[in-house]
A and B are shown apart, each in its own frame.
Chain A
Amino acid sequence: DQQVKQNSPSLSVQEGRISILNCDYTNSMFDYFLWYKKYPAEGPTFLISISSIKDKNEDGRFTVFLNKSAKHLSLHIVPSQPGDSAVYFCAASRSSGDKLTFGTGTRLAVRP
């Protein structure tokens, strides 16, 4: 039972354009949502998070949007850079301090 889903396994974007990565979840108990970035042969690194009391959080080129009614979140990267090429995982947890549940990941390729 995949509670966090990333339906696009890969995405290719031109440098300078916007990258939009999507994530859907099924568990209405999730209260915190996070995005992680992973390069090959390295551990995932935290990118940005959002609490369920917000619908948007921005940090530099990265913005996460949360639509609670649709159980959907998205990560926008503007402008995209070649160094953004990596696998992106969305993750969710309940506010009770529960573990993170991860999606299957989306591989982003930013073309120069």
Chain B
Amino acid sequence: DVKVTQSSRYLVKRTGEKVFLECVQDMDHENMFWYRQDPGLGLRLIYFSYDVKMKEKGDIPEGYSVSREKKERFSLILESASTNQTSMYLCASSLPLGGGNTGELFFGEGSRLTVL
């Protein structure tokens, strides 16, 4: 089974703090993604990566950055946390589309971040 592990299930941080959310997958997937889930807004894509040291902005990248130094690890960074970044953060990985693969995403359990 594919395993996507997020380092922290619950975090509480103060405004202005730097926050690191770590994600590791064990299936040698090329693609990795960070989404946030908010009530009434569904899942919105923050950043994604199709390869090591590669990153692309998603739909809501403002206030976030990412790092992918190794294939299995994709980190989300909040340089200066703000209250509107209180959310559930979901990491996912997938194989590329093509070759009969639909690019199904495998998600971690999520990290609930509260910024006070």
Task: Assess whether B64 is interfacial by the CB under 8 Å rule.
Answer: no
Quick check: B45 and A51 within 8 Å, CB to CB?
Answer: no
Task: Assess whether A62 is interfacial by the CB under 8 Å rule.
Answer: no
The interface residues of chain B lying within 8 Å CB-to-CB of A97 are 31, 50, 96-98, 103
Task: Assess whether A43 is interfacial by the CB under 8 Å rule.
Answer: yes
The interface residues of chain A lying within 8 Å CB-to-CB of B4 are 43
Partner of B97, one of A6, A41, A96, A103: A96
Partner of B106, one of A41, A46, A91: A46
The interface residues of chain A lying within 8 Å CB-to-CB of B58 are 99
Say whether chain A's binding surface is mostly helix, strand, loop, or mixed: loop
The interface residues of chain B lying within 8 Å CB-to-CB of A43 are 4, 90, 92, 107-110
Quick check: A104 and B40 within 8 Å, CB to CB?
Answer: yes
Per the 8 Å Cβ criterion, residues 47-71 of B in contact with A are 48, 50, 58
The interface residues of chain A lying within 8 Å CB-to-CB of B45 are 99-101
Task: Assess whether B43 is interfacial by the CB under 8 Å rule.
Answer: yes
Number of interface residues of B (CB under 8 A): 28
Scan A80-101; emit 1 where CB is below 8 A from any B CB, else 0.
Answer: 0000000001010101111111
The interface residues of chain B lying within 8 Å CB-to-CB of A45 are 107
Of chain B, the residue at the smallest CB distance from A94 is B97
The interface residues of chain A lying within 8 Å CB-to-CB of B103 are 32, 93, 97, 100
Q: Which residues of A contact B (CB under 8 A)?
A: 6, 9, 32, 34, 36, 41-46, 49, 51, 89, 91, 93, 95-105
* Cβ contacts A to B, 28 pairs, < 8 Å: A32-B97, A32-B103, A36-B105, A36-B107, A41-B110, A42-B109, A43-B92, A43-B109, A44-B43, A44-B90, A44-B105, A44-B107, A46-B104, A49-B104, A89-B42, A91-B105, A93-B103, A95-B98, A96-B97, A97-B97, A98-B97, A100-B33, A100-B103, A102-B43, A102-B44, A104-B40, A105-B42, A105-B43
When A and B form their complex, which 5 residue pairs have the shortest distance between CB atoms, in order from nearest?
Answer: A43-B107, A97-B97, A104-B42, A102-B43, A102-B42
Q: Which residues of B contact A (CB under 8 A)?
A: 4, 31, 33, 35, 40-45, 48, 50, 58, 90, 92, 96-98, 102-110, 112
